[in-house]
Chains A and B, each alone.
Chain A
Amino acid sequence: MGKFLVSVGVGSLILVGWLVSSLTTYNVGPINAHAGPWFADTELAKNGWSQFQSAGCAQCHSILGQQGQSTGPDLTQVGKRWKADQIKKLVRDPQSIFVGTRMPSYPQLSEAQLDQIASYLETLK
């Protein structure tokens, strides 16, 4: 009985220890608390990150499960699924790709702004 209690106890303690300490892993916090995005490496994409903030994309979309709302899909790996030109087309007129989607179109965004947003989102892989 002694060996049993010690083994089960120590095994459980190791488990709890790892669980608690893994939760303290380095967290860079919400994206907008930092000077810039993580993955955007070109100037175009960095500007796209600012445009993403100011155009209100995060009202509906989150990245890495943080910062945004969950009305629209999370965009964490959107760059794996969509190329920049497809993203551009989607943001300009969502109905042309997803018929009946709740996402509004953004006619007020200029071609340059769309380019920036699309190139930023493409870096999210």
Chain B
Amino acid sequence: MKSELRSTSDLVRGNIMANVASEARYPSADNVALKFVVGSAIGLLVVVLSGLIMSLQLTSLGNGIGGLFVNIRGIHLQAIIFAWLSMGLMGAIYYAVPRICGRDLLSKALGNVHFALMWVAVGLVAVTLLLGYSEGREYLEPILPIDFAVVVIWVIFVTNILGTIIASRAKTVPYSAIFITVSIIYLGVNYLLGMVPLRGLQDAVAVWTFAHNQVNGWFMVGLMGLMYFALPRLTGLEDNPPHNTKLTAIHFWTLMVFIPPSAMHHLLYQSVPVSEFWKELGQWTSVGMLIPTGIWTYVVYSYIKNSRKGFTLPLKFFAVTTVFYLLNCLQGAVQSIRAINDITHGSQWTIGHAHLALVGFISTGLFGLLYFVLPRVVKGAPALDKVGGMHLAFSAAGLAIMWVTLTIAGLVQGSMLSSGQGFWAAREAIQPYLIVRIIGGVTYAVAAALFFYNVLAAVRRPAETTPEAIGRQALVQR
């Protein structure tokens, strides 16, 4: 140690900066991950903007707002699937996988190509959908040429990630990497099945299997894998997990067995002649999904409860996401039962459930993950907590308003349709709820803007050398 270091804080700074320099072992992974995090924040803005336009159009407040509802709806769906959630998860995966197997990314160039092609695909999807070129199949609106481009992008992604894991020759690969890899395989296999335009019943089965597995297989399993990676590091419990590790194996295999067949619960009252066997199977495997739900809730709870690093911002997001996850799975299991599905199917209840899943559960969890990844891939240690706390409050409140009003609106609408009062009467009856929903949407848009601000501020801030910043840096072990 040289004699320029005069104070304790200088000493601390010198030590920690030396540590940081030696610990930044994965420059390619960090570089690619940061690009995806910023990209996902931009994608989220597209999602909330298109959502706000549509929520206005559904009420009398939106008279004269341009753009066809059906076109914007496709953009809203595709933006949330690809531009926001997929890009965010991919960023976190690019960060996590090299650290799990102790080897930098297979190829930084492939990662950059992946990122560029993602934006090309997102741009193409947005333009074609706005022009009205759509397959008209829910969640699979992009036309066939774009589908092929998506498959190419997926091949690049899976080559990079699987290649990194296999090239690392790690003797033991933990379950977090298994969850992540399986989720990537779900993404691709599903897309290959879903992109083929079939006819009639088979098309309905393919579309809803795709939509279901995209959310459960790619978003949910991927998010869980990444949280299995992040939770021990956020709580300082890397070496002694607070739960029985056999639970993770049970968690994994129940998911693998229950996720695909439960897709059929989307077709219970669709007037589609799916055979009784598949409808029953879809119903009961949906209820069976409560087993992994319980395990996952317990795992997250036990990590947070035993945390040695305090209740930090990402952990707060993880706590909230688990609450929404539990609500979501209970609601999902309930509405998979046919007697209830008869009322709720095709009403605003379903819209509420979709938002609870993708906004309440997946997006909140992803925010937590990105707040875990972000300080570790930018220079210095940005203070995310102040804005981050507000972001958490606004996003949870916005989602809660949206979900509760849509669920009540769905019950009103569904029972009016079932009792034969007609489409227009039901539409008029739910207008007040749809207006309250706009308030929820605006609240959530504020949260999205706060997130965007936080990401930009973290990226643009120069490396700080104040003792506080160094203290934060010490918490953020790379």
Contact = CB atoms under 8 A, between A and B. Distances in A.
Interface stretch (B26-34, B43-51, B163-171, B315-323): B163-171
Interface residues of B, number: 49
A66 B199 contact: yes
Interface residues of A, number: 35
Given A8-B182, A14-B257, A64 B271 contact: yes
A82 B199 CA distance: 26
A10 interface: yes
* Interface residue SS majority, chain B: helix
Contacts, number: 108
B200 A80 contact: no
A10 B264 CA distance: 22
Interface string A67-102: 000100000110011110010000000000000000
Given A22-B209, A22-B263, A80-B423, A11 B185 contact: yes
A25 B205 contact: yes
A22 B199 CA distance: 15
B203 interface: yes
A21 B107 CA distance: 37
Contacts of B177: 4
A32 interface: no
Interface of A: 1, 3-4, 7-8, 10-12, 14-16, 18-19, 22-23, 25-28, 30, 38-39, 64-66, 70, 76-77, 80-83, 86, 124-125
B217 interface: yes
B213 A15 contact: yes
B204 interface: yes
A125 B271 CA distance: 7
Interface of B: 136, 165-166, 169-173, 177-178, 181-182, 185-186, 189-190, 193, 199-206, 209, 213, 217, 252, 256-257, 259-261, 263-264, 270-275, 277-278, 346, 417, 420, 422-423
Given A15-B185, A27-B200, A80-B346, A7 B423 contact: no
A7 B272 CA distance: 34
B261 A22 contact: yes
Contacts of B277: 25-26
A26 B275 contact: yes
A12 B178 CA distance: 11
A23 B205 CA distance: 7
